[in-house]
A and B are shown apart, each in its own frame.
Chain A
Amino acid sequence: ELKVEQNPLFLSMQEGKNYTIYCNYSTTSDRLYWYRQDPGKSLESLFVLLSNGAVKQEGRLMASLDTKARLSTLHITAAVHDLSATYFCAVDSGGSNYKLTFGKGTLLTVNP
């Protein structure tokens, strides 16, 4: 059974600080996804990482993938309040059968 573990599950940080969310998974899949969810809303795709060493950046968020370590990181630079949300990583089952298994999510709160 594919397992996806995120940590931390709760993260409270101050504006302007940097932090990293970690996502470990148990399969050899090399496709990793990051989503954002605001309270009561749907999931918004942030990044799709498709190979070992992939790095993608959008604004203050940067995601990377190490398939050998089965680890992805989501790095937050100089956090701002608008980044407060729940962040999910997900891994698919590989091949053409790409159903996603999600982590439990990291609830990020950025305080002024």
Chain B
Amino acid sequence: DARVTQTPRHKVTEMGQEVTMRCQPILGHNTVFWYRQTMMQGLELLAYFRNRAPLDDSGMPKDRFSAEMPDATLATLKIQPSEPRDSAVYFCASSFFPSSYEQYFGPGTRLTVT
């Protein structure tokens, strides 16, 4: 049963700490997306990669957020330093372009910054 996995599922941290979230896309998928969901802003695209290369990170605060794909099976989203306004659910999604436009979402990482 192919699915996107994310770790950790929950993270509580103090303001100023570094947070790293990880995503394993579905095997063979070549496009990976990072989204953030909050009550106020809804679902927002932060960044996405194709074949491990960043295509767009315009939705990401550049001063504290960074996204990478060290290899085809791992995507990371890092926040340093974290702030309370970063509290949200962070979703990773993957797809196989151009065969399919459908994006498959992971279970999400619920981040709370106190």
Q: Residues on A close to B: CB < 8 A?
A: 31, 33, 35, 41-45, 48, 50, 88, 90, 92, 96-105
Contacts and interface: CB of A to CB of B under 8 A. Distances in A.
Interface of B: 33, 42-45, 48, 55-56, 91, 93, 97-98, 101-108
Q: Which of A31, A42, A43, A103 has the most CB of B within 10 A?
A: A42
A42 B45 contact: no
A100 B42 contact: no
Main secondary structure of the interface of B (DSSP, over half): strand
A43 B55 contact: no
Nearest to A104: B42
A31 B44 CA distance: 18
Given A42-B107, A43-B91, A101 B45 contact: yes
B107 A99 contact: no
A42 B91 CA distance: 8
B56 A97 contact: yes
B48 A99 contact: yes
6 contacts: A44-B105, A45-B103, A45-B105, A48-B101, A48-B102, A102-B44
Contacts of A88: 43
Output the residue of B42, B44, B48 with the most chain A CB within 10 A.
B42
**Nearest 6 A-B pairs (CB), nearest first?**
A102-B43, A43-B105, A42-B105, A42-B107, A99-B45, A104-B42
